[in-house]
Amino acid sequence: MTDPAAGPESLVLIVTGLSGAGKSTALHALEDLGFFCVDNLPVPVMDATLNACEAAGLPRVAMGIDVRVRRFLDRAAEVIESVRVPGHREVDILFLDAADETLLRRFSSTRRPHPLMHDGGVESSRAIAVLDSIRVERERLAPLRARARQVIDTTELSVHDLRQRVIEVYGPGAGAAPRMSTRIVSFGFKYGPPVDADLLFDVRFLPNPFFVAELRPFTGLDEPVQSFVLAVPDARVFLEKTVDLLSFCLPRYEREGKSYLTIGIGCTGGQHRSVVLAEKIATDVSARTGLAPTVVHRDIDRDMSVTGESFVGGTSRRGVG
């Protein structure tokens, strides 16, 4: 049984609006955000398509619907309401609009005909035909616009501006959308930095517990090593400044639509200093930003005597904070 407090299991976003207002740009942005996108879908098969998507484990679906579906458009509002399942499947409508003059200019610059130009038998000039088609299109889309939760006027927006608006509304960190996936990876520089790291921090300037005989058998997950590392004043200053930096940067990466981010914390062998600091940074960043980083200790289980072979694995844990 679905827990109502947990929110709907799936989100269906209907992307519609005036031809030339930016629907393709919006769908591309949504696809980059992890939505499964279907454009120009005949309305009668919407329910079957959504059921197939859910069966395939695709909880976020964006469907483009406009006047190209022709007579199917008349039933669009009715069908959209019928596929909504309270507590299980939420359905939102994003409507893209723009001033007539702007739409006319866009069609003129692309030299593409309006989808309705040949429907009404308009015999006048191309400019008049496009404007007449826009008027008819507004009338046909009026029921969907009236039901839209989000209306974006793209008259003054560039392609990049529209993409940013879509990310702000539906991207990571927006409402119930999934948050940016953040990984903090401790590693040893002598084995090479993580190839997928977006940010790298080098903590080899701190005293190395490896050279303290009684600490060498332990790792950064053990209290004696943690106490040793965190007792160093430079380590505390590094933590403070790094957490400040990440607390500033991570929400802004998220706002720009970044879905995942990998942060590497490196020391010599990846077993002591980097492990301690990766754990502490993850906890503090989680408290400051609400993100729950995955912490991965890539090299913690390496044999100290081994220095060159490839390695896959490591110790990881989920949901810090």
- pLDDT tens-digit map of 16-71: 988 888 999 999 999 988 899 998 888 888 889 998 998 998 989 999 887 766 66
The number of distinct structural domains making up the chain is 2
- Asked whether residue 136 falls in the same domain as residue 58, the answer is yes
Question: Is residue 136 in a domain?
Answer: yes
Question: Is residue 295 in a domain?
Answer: yes
- At residue 172's C-alpha, the angle toward residues 167 and 174, to 5°, is 75
- Asked whether residue 159 falls in the same domain as residue 307, the answer is no
CA dist., res. 10 & res. 108, Å (int): 39
Neighbour count for residue 252 (Cβ, 10 Å): 9
- Coil, strand or helix: which one is 57? coil
- Asked whether residue 206 falls in the same domain as residue 292, the answer is yes
Question: Is residue 232 in a domain?
Answer: yes
- Asked whether residue 220 falls in the same domain as residue 244, the answer is yes
Contact 41, 181 (CB under 8 A): no
Question: Is residue 257 in a domain?
Answer: yes
- Asked whether residue 12 falls in the same domain as residue 155, the answer is yes
The least confident of 81-90, 109-118, 207-216, 229-238 is 109-118
Residue whose C-alpha is closest to residue 231's, from 245, 248, 213, 215: 215
Question: Is residue 176 in a domain?
Answer: no
What distances in angstroms separate CA 155 from CA 65, 116, 171, one per listed residue? 20, 21, 22
- Asked whether residue 292 falls in the same domain as residue 233, the answer is yes
Contact 106, 130 (CB under 8 A): no
Q: What sign has the CA pseudo-torsion 66, 70, 71, 72?
A: negative
Question: Residue 226 corresponds to which amino acid?
Answer: Q
β-pair partners for 260: 181
Close Cβ partners of 281 (under 8 Å, ≥ 6 residues apart):
184, 239, 242, 243, 246, 263, 265
The least confident of 131-140, 264-273, 298-307 is 298-307
Q: Tell me which residue range forms the domain holding 51.
A: 4-170
Contact 264, 193 (CB under 8 A): yes
- Asked whether residue 154 falls in the same domain as residue 196, the answer is no
CA dist., res. 165 & res. 150, Å (int): 11
Supply 18's token pair.
Answer: 């005036």
- Asked whether residue 164 falls in the same domain as residue 186, the answer is no
**pLDDT over threshold 70, residue 293:** yes
What would the mean pLDDT of 158-167 be, rounded to a whole number? 88
How many residues in total does the chain contain?
321
